Chain A
Amino acid sequence: MKKRWISLLLASLMTLSLAACGGSESGGSGSEAAAGNTQSFAENSGAAASTGTGTKDTLIVALPVEPATLDPFMHTNQNGFMCTSLVLESLLKKNDDGELIPWLATEWAYEDDTTLNFTLRDDVTFHDGSKMTAQDVKFTLTQLAQSSFHSTFFGCIDTENTTVIDDTHIQVKLLYPYAPLLEALATLRAGIVSESIYNEMGPDEFARHPVGTGPMQFSQWVTGDRIEMTRYDGYWGEPTAFENFVARVIVEASSRTIELETGGVDIAFELPSADWSRINENPETQLISGNTQGISYLCLNNSMEPIAGNETLRKALAYGLDMENLVLATWQGTADVADTFYAPMILGHKTEGPLEYNPELAKEMLAEAGYPDGLDVTYMTYESAINQAFAEVLKNMWGQIGVNVSIQFLDLATFTEMNNSGEITMALMTNTASINDPSAALVAWPTSRTISLRHGDAHIDELLQAGQQTMDEQERIAIYGELQDYLWEKMYAIPIAFPRNAYGARSNVANLPFYPDLMVDLTRVQFTEA
């Protein structure tokens, strides 16, 4: 018996010491990782590391997801564009006041509604030393117009009639007038790519090693771990404040916060809402947060039973949601209840709601819609804390009006595939407008889109098209106002929330504003003396 107690004691001691080891191990891995970074930039920059003038040589950021590709024509991923913001440059950029400023193009002017002339800089070279010419611009615009990822914004470009006048002049022809084109050209989507380099490397290699005109050139991509870049010495403009750039992939949200707190990274994206105040209060870190150009809405599949054609049912479902608490419990105070179908900062936003929570009315309407005894619906989600939290609240709230929700979990790849082929029954979707324009904010709504919304309502198409092709701002506001009225009346999808977003940075990081489109331009980041 005595032996038994001794062995138990020993066993518990062992467990405790193991736990202690575990603790110190995780503590150690933070500093180890930090040391790893120092080492890696020492390797890359050699002497530069020791001759630093007090500011940092390396900018290290933490990405929540590894980009699948960095071929600018083959994705719409914010993290991907963030990485290529240092490598690829667009013709125009926007300053902090939201005005367009010249970048690779020095001048631009509309000749008429469908003709746009650009004058380009003469001193810009790609990272292989070759000169950027109007031919490269034409190539890029053609690729953008034909890419299924970008044709929403660039499909208006008439690729056949766009002509290169000389090395620094290009005349862009449009198939139809498109008001937000200049805005689109000023986003990170429209980085200029060299025709010869792209064709020589091929899309697959370019996707792993993009080459552009930017201040940083790509050095390597360690799959699943990090992306590294170094300064390009032949850059035409002002060089970046840092010599090297490392993007580390840190999937676990709380690990990103910890890395930021311990100084393992300079900037961390997609901070979990629970950590916002901690980052904000810590004197060594700063929280950069704001409203996004995004909306989270409950997408109902209007091509599937029981949603299809049953407007009363859709409204009953909407009345059955206590929006305020739904948004509070899902986003933990980091989102506002949506009052229409796009964010308030975008042109023509019109307050329509939010709908009042009225479970009694919802039950009556359910009965009217043909479901007096309630009904079963399937909600689909992928691995995402927000979407799962939303699902749990939704199940609870709709359960009270007699709608039984079964939650189906899918992996992201399957979810995306099913969404593209219109098989998602209902799901929480978040669209962040990549340009500050209603046409971008309503990108899910054209009937030509094959995602799971599938409302098939031609009137929406008409209004969308009218909005895009009208150049006068007041007229556009009127058109989009009418569209929002119509969407609210039809309730093909239920608007839920306007989420805020935040990224964290070390307190010595400067010149990192909040980008409402979440496409962060890293070129301007500075380090202040700590």
Chain B
Amino acid sequence: MKIGLRKNSQWRDVWHRLKKNRMAMFGLAVLILLVLLAIFADFIAPYGVDEQNYSEMLQSPSLRHPMGTDNFGRDIMSRIIYGTRISLLIGFISLLISAVVGSILGACAGYFSGISDTIIMRGADILMAIPRTVLAIAIATTLGPGLVNAMIAVAIGTIPSFARVVRASTLTVKDQEYVEAARAIGASNTHIIAKYIFPNVLAPIIVQATLGVATAILLAASLSFLGIGIEPPTPEWGSMLSAARSYIRDYWYMVTFPGLAIMVTVLALNLFGDGLRDALDPKLKK
């Protein structure tokens, strides 16, 4: 009961500090808007996602098609709205995968030390030595295209950074007296990690995650741009960019709007992530 109360007030403090940060609130507002777009795409989008209309190919933006139509006569705005769903899905789920796996590995490495620490962290070092994009390309080509495979490809590269952050925090937490106390009353290792260590390393994980979603979305878009991510006709922003690039000189709107969509999303996530980091760790500020 007591613990719950303390927790509440901590998060309330964070929310207070976050509210003062206008840029972060702007980011949050954009994010909420994007999430709503993604959820209610079926009701918002004026046209279907793969509704090809050959009499309206390559039309400039107009009232009928606010962002124009592509080379199949599909409404670009509708596709971008549906694309929000795909991009956010990849961003969040791939991040969830890497956060869960990375945190467990990091916590184990930090808590148990010794040989398991060495094995996990050297493994992480190896993964980190490979540039993320190259690693993702390699995994994506091995697994083949598709939504799930793209998520995995994006996720694997992020695991080591989570493992590192969590391990470092675990090292400082595990010598705390409450952990010793828990051990003294005979709590199992799993219990200690889950109940005592994990809640106390949550803040860095959250910060890492919000900033990570942005890079994950960018990475997924790059994979699709290269043709190894999500396959058409799924309206992924990266693959829309890729398909439109041969039209760039005559039909500017085909590349501009998907590009803007990526930019706005990533910017919003970064603003919010920065604000959240400041709010979670006031010491860091100033």
Give bound CA distance, A76 to B50, whole Å.
38
Query: A274's contact among B141, B231, B243, B247, by CB below 8 Å, is which?
Result: B247
Minimum CB distance partner of A383 in chain B: B227
- Closest chain-B Cβ to A335's Cβ sits at a distance in Å of 14
Query: A254's contact among B54, B228, B231, B246, by CB below 8 Å, is which?
Result: B246
In the complex the two chains form, is B232's CB within 8 Å of A325's CB?
no
Say yes or no: is B175 at the interface (Cβ < 8 Å to chain A).
Answer: no
B141 cross-chain contacts in A, Cβ below 8 A: 411
Give bound CA distance, A105 to B142, whole Å.
53
Give bound CA distance, A274 to B250, whole Å.
8
Say yes or no: is B248 at the interface (Cβ < 8 Å to chain A).
Answer: yes
Query: B50's contact among A254, A396, A408, by CB below 8 Å, is which?
Result: A396
Are A329 and B233 also in contact (CB < 8 A) when A274-B247, A388-B243, A396-B50 are?
A: no
Give bound CA distance, A241 to B93, whole Å.
62
In the complex the two chains form, is B52's CB within 8 Å of A396's CB?
yes
Say yes or no: is A444 at the interface (Cβ < 8 Å to chain B).
Answer: no
Query: A389's contact among B23, B71, B144, B231, by CB below 8 Å, is which?
Result: B71
Say yes or no: is A409 at the interface (Cβ < 8 Å to chain B).
Answer: yes
In the complex the two chains form, is B73's CB within 8 Å of A391's CB?
no
In the complex the two chains form, is A396's CB within 8 Å of B233's CB?
yes
A257 cross-chain contacts in B, Cβ below 8 A: 249
Query: B23's contact among A4, A275, A407, by CB below 8 Å, is which?
Result: A4
A4 cross-chain contacts in B, Cβ below 8 A: 23
Minimum CB distance partner of B58 in chain A: A332
Give bound CA distance, A272 to B251, whole Å.
14
Say yes or no: is A395 at the interface (Cβ < 8 Å to chain B).
Answer: yes
Say yes or no: is A100 at the interface (Cβ < 8 Å to chain B).
Answer: no
Say yes or no: is B127 at the interface (Cβ < 8 Å to chain A).
Answer: no
Size of B's binding interface in residues, CB under 8 A: 24
- Closest chain-A Cβ to B50's Cβ sits at a distance in Å of 6
In the complex the two chains form, is A388's CB within 8 Å of B249's CB?
no
A328 cross-chain contacts in B, Cβ below 8 A: 54, 57
- Chain A 377-412 interface mask (CB, 8 Å, partner B; 1/0): 000000101001101110110010000000111010
A278 cross-chain contacts in B, Cβ below 8 A: 249-250
A399 cross-chain contacts in B, Cβ below 8 A: 50
In the complex the two chains form, is A407's CB within 8 Å of B232's CB?
yes
In the complex the two chains form, is A409's CB within 8 Å of B233's CB?
no
In the complex the two chains form, is A395's CB within 8 Å of B71's CB?
no
- Closest chain-B Cβ to A171's Cβ sits at a distance in Å of 52
Say yes or no: is A253 at the interface (Cβ < 8 Å to chain B).
Answer: yes
A383 cross-chain contacts in B, Cβ below 8 A: 227
Within 8 A of B (CB), among A266-307: 272, 274-275, 278
Within 8 A of B (CB), among A479-513: none
- Chain B 234-268 interface mask (CB, 8 Å, partner A; 1/0): 00000000010111111100000000000000000
Within 8 A of A (CB), among B168-204: none
- Chain B 115-151 interface mask (CB, 8 Å, partner A; 1/0): 0000000000000000000000000010011000000
Query: B232's contact among A8, A332, A388, by CB below 8 Å, is which?
Result: A388
In the complex the two chains form, is A272's CB within 8 Å of B246's CB?
yes
Minimum CB distance partner of A409 in chain B: B145
Are A329 and B54 also in contact (CB < 8 A) when A392-B72, A407-B231, A407-B232 are?
A: yes
A325 cross-chain contacts in B, Cβ below 8 A: 54
In the complex the two chains form, is A392's CB within 8 Å of B232's CB?
yes
Give bound CA distance, A396 to B73, whole Å.
12
Give bound CA distance, A278 to B246, whole Å.
13
In the complex the two chains form, is A329's CB within 8 Å of B73's CB?
yes
Give bound CA distance, A495 to B231, whole Å.
25
Give bound CA distance, A385 to B246, whole Å.
9
- Closest chain-A Cβ to B235's Cβ sits at a distance in Å of 11
A408 cross-chain contacts in B, Cβ below 8 A: 144
- Closest chain-A Cβ to B103's Cβ sits at a distance in Å of 31
- Closest chain-A Cβ to B112's Cβ sits at a distance in Å of 42
- Closest chain-B Cβ to A89's Cβ sits at a distance in Å of 37
Give bound CA distance, A383 to B57, whole Å.
23
B249 cross-chain contacts in A, Cβ below 8 A: 254, 257, 274-275, 278
In the complex the two chains form, is A332's CB within 8 Å of B52's CB?
no
A395 cross-chain contacts in B, Cβ below 8 A: 50, 233
- Closest chain-B Cβ to A5's Cβ sits at a distance in Å of 9
In the complex the two chains form, is A329's CB within 8 Å of B52's CB?
yes
Minimum CB distance partner of A325 in chain B: B54
B73 cross-chain contacts in A, Cβ below 8 A: 329
Minimum CB distance partner of A399 in chain B: B50
Give bound CA distance, A411 to B145, whole Å.
11
Within 8 A of B (CB), among A312-361: 325, 328-329, 332
In the complex the two chains form, is B72's CB within 8 Å of A254's CB?
no
B246 cross-chain contacts in A, Cβ below 8 A: 253-254, 272, 274, 385
Minimum CB distance partner of B227 in chain A: A383
* Of listed A254, A274, A278, A408, residue having the most chain B CB within 10 A: A274
Give bound CA distance, A253 to B141, whole Å.
24
- Closest chain-B Cβ to A327's Cβ sits at a distance in Å of 10
- Closest chain-A Cβ to B102's Cβ sits at a distance in Å of 29
Give bound CA distance, A407 to B233, whole Å.
9
In the complex the two chains form, is A254's CB within 8 Å of B248's CB?
yes
- Closest chain-A Cβ to B252's Cβ sits at a distance in Å of 12
- Chain B 35-56 interface mask (CB, 8 Å, partner A; 1/0): 0000000000000001010100
- Closest chain-A Cβ to B255's Cβ sits at a distance in Å of 11
A selection of 19 A-B contacts at a CB cut-off of 8 Å is A254-B246, A272-B246, A274-B246, A278-B250, A328-B57, A383-B227, A385-B243, A385-B246, A392-B232, A393-B52, A393-B72, A395-B50, A396-B52, A396-B72, A399-B50, A408-B144, A409-B144, A409-B228, A411-B141
| Chain A contacts to B: CB under 8 angstroms | 4, 8, 253-254, 257, 272, 274-275, 278, 325, 328-329, 332, 383, 385, 388-389, 391-393, 395-396, 399, 407-409, 411
17 other A-B residue contacts (CB within 8 Å) besides A4-B23, A332-B71, A391-B232: A8-B23, A257-B249, A274-B249, A328-B54, A328-B57, A329-B52, A329-B54, A329-B72, A383-B227, A385-B246, A388-B243, A389-B71, A392-B50, A393-B52, A393-B72, A395-B233, A396-B52
A-B pairs, 9 with minimum CB distance: A325-B54, A392-B233, A396-B52, A272-B246, A392-B232, A409-B145, A329-B72, A407-B231, A274-B247
| Chain B contacts to A: CB under 8 angstroms | 23, 50, 52, 54, 57, 71-73, 141, 144-145, 227-228, 231-233, 243, 245-251
